[in-house]
Structure 1
Amino acid sequence: MHKVIILGSGNIGFALALFLSKSNSYDVTVLGRKAKTLKKIQKNLKITVLKRDLEDKKSYENLLENYDTVISALPYYLNIFIAKLALKAKINYFDFTEDVKTTQAIKKIAKKAKENQVFIPQCGLAPGFISILAYSLYQQFDEVYSIKMRVGALPLNPSNKILYNLTWSTEGLINEYCNECFAIKDSKLVSTQALEGLEKFSLNGLEYEAFNTSGGLGTLCETLENKVKELNYKTIRYKGHKALMDFLINDLYLGKNKRRKILKDILEYAIPTTKEDLVLIFCTVIGKKNSLLQQKTDVRKIYNETFYSHKLSALQITTALSLCTVLDLYVNNKLKKASFIKQEDISLEDFVSNRFAQEFLEKD
């Protein structure tokens, strides 16, 4: 049985442990810092748990040697350290990171990988599944003019002026709203500003907006530069959200590196969490096929749901099951042989036919 250690016992770490342990194909251990949370996981899932100070790098000494794979569900700033530990322990490495510089560093680490050792970052929803979907649509054309990727994790019943609830890592959210974004324009890689490029649209009577955020398209710009004329990624929110975040981040300068902790404290103090959410996924590609100008669009809407008597948010479901799918494809030799695998290297056909992906992609 493939032995997996999950670092992080938060919402995503729990969902990972739930799906992998219930599959009866993986021997799962969860490492976390909160004794109460770990006790609950151990009681409900009947798996091994370990308590560690996740910020203390000494606590990881000799931790990974007895496993086949480590999955980091930790804040992005710990992932380079964990990837180096995985390299030393000669085990596989998976994560969800949206941070561009972290992914670039992990790619360099992967160049030193041992035989049959793999590093696969960005395995969640965005980055993650959205890149697999977009690249699959791209491959259906002879010539591609534009690729537009839009993803949003939204509360079903927003009740505050910001029209948002916290559904995942606050550090990751701030990263997306503050860091440099990338796109392809006129076939060349370009840098864009987070919170810019505002679009507005309606769906089923509700008004939404979308704007630039960092990291959601993963390595796709690198892969498709000089191959498409235009490519961009934007996050979907309810109309009005962007203006308030722009005020906090830019007008009050809370997006500056030294002030992001203040922004994190404000958001976590004032914005409640929720599992009553939905995930919207849009991908539109325009190009030529057999000399005809065509457009192909893939739209998906995923709701929160109960699995094995545990209510999970839509973001938990899509993020955790996306990584479970990629891991399962790797374990079953459905991925290419390489030390570093990008999300767009993964076949959409193989992805959607996997047992984990079918838990959320095959539903209405």
Structure 2
Amino acid sequence: MSYNMVIAGAGGIAQAVGLLLSEWSNVPIRIFIGNRRLEKAEMVAKWIGEGTTDPLVAQAFCLSDRGLTKEMEEIFEQGDVLLDCLPGSLAPKMAGYAKKYGLHYVNLTEYVAETNEIMALAKNAETGFVLQSGLAPGYIDILAHYLYQEFCRKYHVDKVDKLQFKVGALTDHAVAPHYYGFTWSPVGVATEYMKDAEAVRDFKKVPLKSLSERARIIIDGRTYEEDLTSGGAADLPDALAGKVRHLDYKTLRYPGHYAWVQQQIEGLANGDKAIGTLQEKMETEIPHMEQDQIVLYAAVEGKDSHDVLRRSEVSKLIRPQKVGKHRLRAIQATTAAPMVQAAFMLLESDRKGVVLQSQIDPKPFLNGSFIAAVYGEIP
């Protein structure tokens, strides 16, 4: 048995996906790397090949933004899975290719409108479409859902008071006035700050304005600020409405960052133009940094069958790690691992149509070989 894996994109996450596939797959694979700039795809293909313990040649191709080419058609016809590492605005287009050529499809985007478009497109597909499969949305939602299920099983209840889950992609150090450094896409950061979040309040799904519920939290003895941001809750507000009184996803930052962001967005209207303006303002003052860490936290709280208030928590701090001959940043490894795990889940099952985070059996997924190597196992 062997698989042909088509990776769309040639950025940092695409690099990590290719390296994890090359280094950790227990079956033979062939990798195709596509990007609109062929030379960038060739650079990533070479980087992956140079980083593997056993020699592997990834094939680069031009992923034209002007429509299908003969080369694209030939590669899609050979492919088993399309792993979409492109910007979220292009996700429906890539999903359309996957459906047309009968590939499984996995993406990362937190964009809500594009996710809804793909859900409609893939409703009756003959292959599986795992959406929002990275870190947040992605791993953190499956972890939160697992905690909810385990809490209900252990304490013999079917409803809980709170389900809270949070992630921060942070630098090791932070300086005034912004207390931040870019470790991933600036447009992604600006988008999650400006678009509305989805949450559950009093058992009902509701939209909430991002950056509207700031608070401090101590995780493993270290103080952070948390606030609502868009996209990270995935489909849990739909899946758990009526079962959880209070559910939300929040992004973790160092104290002081959100106050600075609030100053930057004063006077900006909502919309894509405002997102671009905020991105420009942030990139003027905030540096891009290589040294990073991922902080994540999830908790469930409620009363057990004897009316005793209980709380279960999980926290993790993940740092850069070496894979093969290369060192991956924490954001690369933690985003790529769930994506690759989702791809193998589809290849090894008969899942068809859209697969959302709440529809994934959490324990075997969280303890899958790719995820466990990055995040550690869940007991």
TM-score when normalising by structure 1: 0.92
Contact 1:87/1:112 (CA < 8 Å) preserved in 2?
no
Secondary structure of the structure 2 residue equivalent to 1:166: coil
For residues 264-289 of structure 1, the C-alpha deviation after alignment (integer angstroms, 9 at most, x for no partner) is 33434543222311111111101233
The whole-number CA distance in structure 1 between the counterparts of 2:63 and 2:142 is: 34
1:155 is displaced (CA, Å) by 0.5
| Structure 1 unaligned spans of 5+ | none
Within the alignment, does 1:277 sit opposite 2:289 as a pair? no
1:352 Cα deviation after fit = 3.0
Give secondary structure in 1 for the equivalent of 2:124: coil
Does residue 181 of structure 1 match 2:197? Answer: yes
Q: Alpha-carbon deviations, 1:189-241, whole Å to 9, x = none?
A: 11100111001133456431000100001000010111111111110000011
In the alignment, structure 1 residue 288 sits paired with structure 2 residue 300: no
Structure 1 residue aligned with 2:168: 152
- List runs of 5+ in structure 2 lacking aligned partners: 50-56
1:102 aligned to which of 114, 117, 130: 114
Q: What is the match of residue 341 of structure 2?
A: 325
**1:267 aligns to what?**
282
Match of 1:66 among 66, 78, 95: 78
Counterpart AA for 2:356: K
1:116-144 alpha-carbon deviations (Å, 9 max, x no partner): x1111100011101111111111121121
Deviation of 1:13 after TM superposition, in Å, equals: 0.5
CA distance in 2 between partners of 1:157 and 1:51 (Å): 38
> How far, CA to CA, are the matches of 2:353 and 2:206 in structure 1?
28
> Would the aligned equivalents of 2:169 and 2:331 in 1 still touch at CA under 8 Å?
yes
1:138 and 1:298 map into 2 onto residues whose CA distance is 12
Match of 2:238 in 1: 222
Runs of at least 4 residues off by over 6 Å:
none
Aligned to 1:48: 59
What is the identity, as a one-letter code, of the residue corresponding to 2:366? V
Q: Which residue of 2 aligns with 1:348?
A: 362
Q: Equivalents in 1 of 2:219, 2:246: separation in Å?
A: 24
Structure 2 residue 105 is the aligned partner of structure 1 residue 89: no
**Given the alignment, which residue of 79, 84, 87 partners 2:91?**
79
Distance 2:103 2:179 in 1: 42
Match of 2:181 in 1: 165
The alpha-carbon deviation at position 106 of structure 1 amounts to 1.2
Q: What letter matches 1:210 in structure 2?
A: E
What are the equivalent positions in structure 2 for 1:5-44 lying under 5 Å apart?
5-24=6-25, 25=27, 26-44=29-47
1:135 alignment partner AA: H
Distance, in Å, in 2 between the alignment partners of 1:245 and 1:314 is 24
Q: 1:214 to 1:232 in 2, by over 3 A?
A: same
Deviation at 1:169, TM superposition (A): 2.0
**CA pair 51-61 structure 1, distance change in 2 beyond 3 A:** closer
Q: What residue number does 2:3 align with? A: 2
Identity %: 28
Answering whether residue 327 of structure 2 is matched by residue 300 of structure 1, we say no
How many Å separate the matches in 1 of 2:213 and 2:346?
Answer: 37
Q: Distance in 2 between matches of 1:272 and 1:363?
A: 34
Q: Is the contact between residue 275 and residue 312 of structure 1 (CA under 8 Å) also seen in structure 2?
A: no
Determine if the alignment matches structure 1 residue 124 to structure 2 residue 134.
yes
Residues in 1 aligned to 2:184 and 2:317: alpha-carbon distance in whole angstroms: 18
RMSD, aligned α-carbons: 2.2
CA distance in structure 2 between the partners assigned to 1:176 and 1:64 by the alignment = 32
Which one-letter code corresponds to 1:112 in the other structure?
Answer: N
Paired with 1:231 and 1:169, the residues of 2 have a C-alpha distance of: 26
d(CA) in 2 for partners of 1:286, 1:206: 21
Please say if 1:358 is aligned against 2:369: no
**How far apart are residue 319 of structure 1 and its match?**
0.5
Q: Which amino acid aligns with 2:333?
A: I
Q: Is the 8 A contact 1:152 1:235 kept in 2?
A: yes
Q: State the distance in 2 between where 1:102 and 1:256 align.
A: 15
C-alpha separation in 1, matches of 2:377 and 2:174: 24
**Cα shift at 1:163:** 1.5
Q: Within 1, Cα distance between the matches of 2:39 and 2:281?
A: 25
CA distance in 1 between counterparts of 2:38 and 2:313 reads: 45
Structure 2 letter corresponding to 1:279: I
Residues 268 and 39 of structure 1: is their aligned pair in 2 closer, same or farther, counting only changes over 3 Å?
farther
Cα 1:211/1:57, change in 2 over 3 Å: farther
Aligned letter for 1:233?
A: Y
Distance in 2, matches of 1:174 and 1:80, equals 21
Per-residue CA deviation, residues 297-356 of structure 1 (Å, 9 max, x unaligned), is 1111111122222221111111001111122222222xx734111112222321232210
